[in-house]
Amino acid sequence: MNLPSMPHAMPHLLGHNALDWTVVAVFATVYLGMFLGGLPRLKLDRSGVALLGAIAVIALTGLPLEDAAQAVDLPTIVLLFAFMVVSAQMRLGGFYTEVTRRVGGMALSRRGLLAALIAVAGGLSAIFSNDIICLAMTPVVARLCLQRGLNPVPFLIGLACAANIGSAATLIGNPQNMLIGSVLQLPFGGYVRQALGPVVWSLGLLWLWLAYGPGSNNGADELAQPVAVNVPLDDAPAFDRWQTAKGLGVAGVLLLVFLFTDWPRDVAALVGAGVLLLSRRLHSSHVMGFVDWQLLLLFMGLFVVNHAFEGTGLAAEAVAWLAGHGVALADPGPLLVVGVALSNLVSNVPAVMLLLPHLGANAQEAGVLLALVSTFAGNLLLVGSIANLIVVDLAAKQGIAIDWKQHALTGIPVTLGSLAVVWGWMRWVG
């Protein structure tokens, strides 16, 4: 052991005061909560941990409330809120349930039905968020598989994986993409052009694995007859053509605005949400009840905690130390590895918040890679994505058990394959 070289490894550690280390302690506790999903012996989830962490750094450091408020990226919060309202409109209009029922009732073989469900889940998640799609589609997919005599587990795992993959196609498909797009000011159309190829190829890999991989039911590939899918769900709203058309209309206009104008995405989305809240049938309190306020609190808490941690200078020193040893986080290789690891350790949103300030001069190019990697990484492990957990929880209510081993049989190879696609695409095509 070369003891004389040790002081040069982290030369600035001794220059930090007690206040800096207090912030580090709060930061470490918050991210331990992100890893564990809460804190031991306390009834706190990730949102509660992030909120208390923000309160702690404000109280302990004397951080002015104005500075804490400025640390929150308001465009991200507004965009996230607005699309929660849009998704609530589509859910209350019965759109997701109706689409799933119609696909399930088509005259398709097992492999054909897998392809259709993967395409629908991936496509809808690119616009209406992967978590919402899994929440709405899981009960219907479970019931239609049981009704058709198919093993529902591959279909449900495929639904979760497809929703995660598909959500990476746009800057509104999931919270981490919204954050990356807002902070780095990525052009919506430019991002879609770079991301669409890896997303489509990865969805194809998912279908190939489920259709032909180990455990696939090769004996059920003959053409099936059309099925009248009878899946009565007590909590599923009836299909409402007008409310669905209204939601689709607003979503379509917003996509056109994002693609062909330079209007601020957060403002445009907020106006769209306002249009949807003007309704004679759906009470605004009912629609707002579907907004994930806890996720918004998670974002705001982490913004404040990360801002306080960045203020200590330790993060910048650590990144500089890594760069001095040949590991630059902005380079594609290290960013891919660190992005996958952090996304599975602390979840993808906190991971993205940690990495965003350190993407270097080519931040926009690195941002596209980070968006794809952090999203695809959610398929690696069962706990890697909230969408996975939603599917498992709702499947259990239908009497279908999905454990981490069953998920890993699909999640690990599909994730490794999709990450290889991203690497190859960004290196030779994008």
Q: Whole-number mean pLDDT of the chain?
A: 87
Q: Which range has the worst mean pLDDT, 22-26, 146-150, 219-223, 324-328?
A: 219-223
Q: Which band of pLDDT confidence, cut at 50, 70 and 90, is reported for residue 12? A: low
pLDDT digits (tens, 9 = 90+) for 112-156: 999 999 999 999 999 998 988 998 899 989 988 888 888 999 999
Dihedral angle sign, alpha carbons of residues 104, 110, 112, 118: positive
pLDDT digits (tens, 9 = 90+) for 210-254: 999 886 654 344 434 445 555 555 566 788 899 999 999 999 999
* Angle subtended at Cα 45 by Cα 44 and Cα 46, rounded to the nearest 5 degrees: 125
Q: Which range has the worst mean pLDDT, 278-282, 353-357, 378-382, 398-402?
A: 278-282
- Residue 230 has a pLDDT of 55
- Residue 26 has a pLDDT of 94
- Residue 315 has a pLDDT of 82
Collect all residues with Cβ–Cβ distance below 8 Å to 392 and sequence separation of at least 6: 382, 402, 407
- Cα 72 to its chain centre, rounded Å, is 19
User: Mapping DSSP to helix (H, G, I), strand (E, B) and coil, where does residue 169 land?
Assistant: coil
- As a three-state string, the secondary structure of 300-352 is HHHHHHHHHHHHCCHHHHHHHHHHHCCCCCCCHHHHHHHHHHHHHHHCHHHHH
Closest CA to 301 of 3, 31, 20, 19: 31
Collect all residues with Cβ–Cβ distance below 8 Å to 200 and sequence separation of at least 6: none
- Residue 231 has a pLDDT of 53
Burial classification of residue 208, based on how many CB atoms lie within 10 Å of its CB (0-12 exposed, 13-18 middle, 19 or more buried)? middle
- Residue 104 has a pLDDT of 84
| Tokens 């589509």 belong to residue | 90
Report the chain's terminal Cα–Cα distance, integer Å: 44
| Tokens 């350790």 belong to residue | 345
Residue 129 Ramachandran class (φ > 0 left, ψ -120 to 50 alpha, else beta):
left
Domain ranges of the chain: 73-217+232-429
Highest mean pLDDT: which of 167-171, 230-234, 294-298? 167-171
Question: Tokens at residue 317, please?
Answer: 């020193």
Which one-letter DSSP state was computed for residue 427? I
- Residue 299 has a pLDDT of 92
Tell me the HSE value of 135 on the side-chain side, using a 13 A CA sphere. Answer: 16
pTM: 0.87
| Tokens 């993205």 belong to residue | 352
389 pLDDT exceeds 80? Answer: yes
46 pLDDT exceeds 80? Answer: yes
Dihedral angle sign, alpha carbons of residues 323, 328, 333, 337: positive
Q: Residues 271, 265: contact at Cβ < 8 Å?
A: no
Q: Residues 319, 360: contact at Cβ < 8 Å?
A: no
Q: What is the mean pLDDT of residues 96-117?
A: 90
